[in-house]
Amino acid sequence: MATPYGKTKDGFEQQFGTNHLGHFLFFQLLKPTLLKSASADFPSRVVSLSSVGHRSGEVRLDDFNFTEKDSYSPWAGYGQAKTANIYLANEIERRYGPQNLHATSLHPGGISTGLQVHSPEVGQMMEKPEVVKMMKSPSQGASTSVYAALSEEWKHKGGKYLSNCVEMPPADPNVDMLSGDEGYAAWAYDEEKAKKLWEKSLELVGIEGEK
């Protein structure tokens, strides 16, 4: 999370390549089976693990590698990747929802794990009493993922961003991510950007002819 600038072996900005393109390709490989096994009575589901951190940066469709001078910051890279996770779920729902393949995205909550190794300021913040009371255990952090994957409520629908096992409203633009407001950013449901990212991702992972 919020790592220093780096690139994958394929030459992609590390957080974008790891957190989005890897997931995108994995979905594409699973998609034939997900569609074949889906039915109206028992739909297939995809759960895309995003984060409230998506609010720290939009997807840079024209410069996802941050080649522009001084454009990269660890949180901008993380925000781009986590926004891409939301777009992935939204676009899966748009394209395949009618075929009984649904997808949701979610924020698991604040959990003290090794994820913060590159963000000492986050680790320090997590020690504050007002933040400690909002922290989750790993099992609590997994609850929304399990809920999205197995609950009856999300069996026949998707394309939404969840946290604490509920669909989230827009974030208050006047508060930051550490306030406890886990709502979504203004760009989270940008259909045009989600579609463009999908098409660009197909190109980047070398898939042709996908519909």
Q: Which residues are catalytic?
A: 50, 78, 82
Q: Edge-to-edge strand order for the sheet containing 44-49?
A: 44-49, 101-107, 161-163, 166-167
What is the β-pairing status of strands 44-49 and 166-167? unpaired
Cα–Cα dist 156/136, whole Å: 28
Query: Residue 92 has which token pair?
Result: 């899966």
Q: Are 159 and 90 within 8 A, CB to CB?
A: yes
Q: Are 97 and 43 within 8 A, CB to CB?
A: no
Q: How far is CA 108 from CA 10, 182, 198, in A?
A: 29, 10, 24
Q: Are 109 and 136 within 8 A, CB to CB?
A: yes
